[in-house]
Copies of this chain bind each other. A is one copy, B any other.
C-alpha cells in the first residue's frame, strides 16, 4: 500500500482488515460489505484458503475488477488447484476481471498507480511489460531504476486464472486505453514497445493474431523459456505451465514480427533499445571507435548478425580525411585513434551520420589516457538530437566509463558494455523494421475441398488404428491430387516379378504396416533393384527380415513393389496439427538425411503460394532445387502445388492430425509422393 501512496495515485483507498482500525493513516474497514462506496478495484492479499469467501463478498458488493496477490493456488499442488478452480467459477459467474492469483499486481503510469509489492520506484516511460513471473518483475524494477528506463504499464499475470496476456493486449488495442495514453516521451522512440515474459501461452492462435496487428505499430519482444526438456521440468514444478513445441513457437514469432529473446540479457538490452531508439531504416551500419580491436569485433558481429557495414561515398571519405589524423582509418569501421578527444569524435559522428547509406551508428569508446569520456557522451547526445538516425554506444571498461554511460542514459541513448551486444540489438530492431514494412497483415483463408471418396476412405480405415496403411495413405494422396509412383501390393513373388514388365526398372520393394513408422528401422526397404535376380534376392531378404519381427506385427505387414523415381531430389513434406497454433508445415531435405541433418523448416498454415515459395527458397536444400550446379531447375511449382493440396486436405479433414511424405522425390517435371504416412486423431473420428 505504501507503493500505491508513493506512486501519486489520486483516487480513494479503502483498507479492509478485521482487526486494524487504521492502516498507514487511512481508516480501515472490518469487511467489504461495510465500505462506504463501491470501489473500481479490489486488491486481495490474504492467505489462500480465505480468498474464496472474500471474493464472494466482493461480488455481492458489486466490485468488477479484482487483483489477487495471494499465493498458494495452482502452483502449490492439488489443494491449491481446487481453491483456484473455485475462484475461477466465482469470477466467471460474476463476470469479474480477475488478475492473479499468485501475482505481483500491476503498475500504470496514466494515471499513476503502483499496485505491486516490489521494492523499487518506477519511472514513467513508454515501455509496456507483461510478465507471468513476479520474481522477474522485481529484477526488472530494480534494473529499470538503475538504467533510468521508464514504463507506462507493468502487469504481472501470476497464475492467469482468468485474465491472460491476450486480454491485456486486447485492452491495449482499445480506444479507451489509447485515449488515455500519456504523450510520447521526449528523446525516446516513437513506439510503445511491449516486453513479454511468458512461460505458457493461453490461446496461441489468438495471441498470434493480436501480436501481428500490434507488431505493425509497436515492437514486441518476448522471453519464453521451454526450449529443452530440463526447462520444461523446471517449469512444471514452478507454475504448472505446459509448453507446446518450442520450434513451432519460434517460427510463429518470426511470422508475426515478434522478437524472441535468447535470455534475460537480450530481454533487458532490447527493452532499452526499443524504448529509446527508432529502428534503423535499413541494414547498413557504421562504426566509429577509438580502438581497433573492438572495432574489429563489432565489424565481425555486424556480418554474423545479418547486417552490413556501410560503404561510404567519396564525399564522406574526403571529409573524414580532412577532419581525422593521417593514420586514422576512414574506411568503415572508422578508427578515430586512441588519442581522440570529444571534438574528433563529434566530427566523425556528424560526417558519418550525414552519409545517406548509413542507417544506424555504433560508437565505441575505450578509456585511453586522453579520452574525454563525459564530453564525448555529450557530443553523442547532441548528434542524436540533430540527426534522426538511431545511435548505439559501447563504452568498454569499469568505473571510468560509468560516468559517460549515465549521461547517455539521461539522453536516452542505449549503451552496452560489450560492442557485440549493441550489434545484436541493432540486428533485432532491423529485423522488426523489415518485417513490419513487408509482411502482409491478412492471413489467407484456408481453402477446403470436398471429396466423398476421401471421406469414406478415412472413415473406413480401421477404427482402432491411428495410422492409415501404406495403401490407404497412398490412395489418400492420389485422391488429394498428388502424383504417386506406380505401385502394388505383391501377394507373392510372381506378382512382384510381373510388375516391372509394365513399369520398367529400377523398382523398390518395401515391407509396409501401419505399425511401422520407419521402414528402414526394420530393414524393410530395398532400393535400386535393376533386374530379376536382384528382385529375387530382395524378396527373400525382406521375407527373412519380416520373420525376424514379432508375431503380431508380422500379421499387419504386406509387401509393396513400387517404381523407383530416379534423377530427383529427396525431400520431406509434412503437416502437423500443433495444439497451440494449428497446422504447421515441415519441409526440408528428405530420405535418410531428414533426420540426421537439421534442415527442418517450419511454416504456420494457411499460407499463400507466394509465402510457400519464399519459404522453400529459404531452406538449406533450396540450392539443389533451383538448378544447383546443373542448369535445369526442378519443378518447384509442382512442389508448391503439392503443399497447397495437402494444406487444403488438412483443413477439410480435421480428423487428420499428421501427414508426412518422406521422401517426396522432386524431378524436373513432377513432385512424387513416394512414401506417405497419415495419422488420424481417433478422438475426432469417433466424435463424427
Contact = CB atoms under 8 A, between A and B. Distances in A.
A617 interface: no
Given A135-B294, A136-B294, A368 B119 contact: yes
15 contacts: A119-B369, A133-B293, A139-B396, A141-B367, A142-B399, A144-B398, A225-B300, A230-B299, A230-B303, A230-B308, A237-B331, A238-B329, A265-B417, A505-B530, A597-B599
Given A226-B296, A521-B629, A593-B593, 15 more contacts: A118-B368, A119-B367, A119-B400, A136-B293, A138-B367, A138-B369, A142-B397, A227-B304, A233-B299, A263-B419, A263-B420, A264-B297, A596-B624, A596-B628, A597-B620
Contacts of A132: 293
B142 A398 contact: yes
A445 B596 CA distance: 34
A134 interface: yes
A241 to B, nearest CB: 9
Contacts of A595: 623
Contacts of A238: 292, 295-296, 329, 335
Contacts of A308: 230
A528 B237 CA distance: 56
Interface in A357-392: 366-369
B301 A263 contact: yes
Interface size class of A (residues with CB under 8 A): 35 or more
Interface in A275-298: 290-297
A10 interface: no
Nearest to A301: B263
Interface stretch (A17-25, A68-76, A659-667): A68-76
Nearest to A337: B71
Nearest to A229: B303
Specify how many copies of this chain sit in the oligomer. 2
Interface of A: 71-72, 75-77, 117-120, 131-136, 138-139, 141-147, 197, 199, 223, 225-231, 233-235, 237-239, 262-265, 268, 290-297, 299-304, 308-309, 326-327, 329, 331, 333, 335, 338, 366-369, 396-402, 417-421, 505-506, 518, 520-521, 523, 528, 530-531, 566-567, 589, 592-593, 595-599, 620-621, 623-624, 628-632
B296 A398 contact: no
B292 A239 contact: yes
B566 A528 contact: yes
Contacts of A632: 523
A398 B146 contact: yes
Nearest to A530: B530
Contact of A230 (B225, B300, B505, B518): B300
Closest 6 CB pairs of A and B: A146-B398, A135-B291, A142-B397, A133-B293, A231-B300, A238-B292
Given A400-B142, A420-B264, A630-B523, A292 B133 contact: yes
Nearest to A593: B593
A631 B541 CA distance: 13
A506 B520 contact: no
Contacts of A239: 292
Contacts of A506: 528, 530
A138 B292 contact: no
B420 A262 contact: yes
A322 B207 CA distance: 42
A660 B228 CA distance: 38
Contacts of A628: 592, 596
Contact of A629 (B264, B518, B531): B518
Nearest to A327: B76
Nearest to A631: B523
B296 A235 contact: yes
B291 A366 contact: no
Contacts of A290: 135
A76 B326 contact: yes
Nearest to A370: B119
Contacts of A518: 629
A119 B400 CA distance: 9
B629 A299 contact: no
A131 B138 CA distance: 40
Contacts of A235: 292, 296
A386 to B, nearest CB: 27
Contacts of A301: 263
Contact of A368 (B131, B135, B197, B234): B135
Contacts of A119: 367-369, 400
A327 to B, nearest CB: 4
Among A132, A417, A623, the most chain B Cβ lie within 10 Å of the Cβ of A417
A226 B304 CA distance: 11
B367 A303 contact: no
Contacts of A134: 338
B139 A397 contact: yes
Contacts of A396: 139, 142-143, 264
Contact of A300 (B135, B146, B227, B300): B227
Contacts of A400: 119-120, 142
Nearest to A630: B523
A135 B292 contact: yes
Nearest to A293: B133
Contacts of A77: 327
Nearest to A423: B263
B293 A397 contact: no
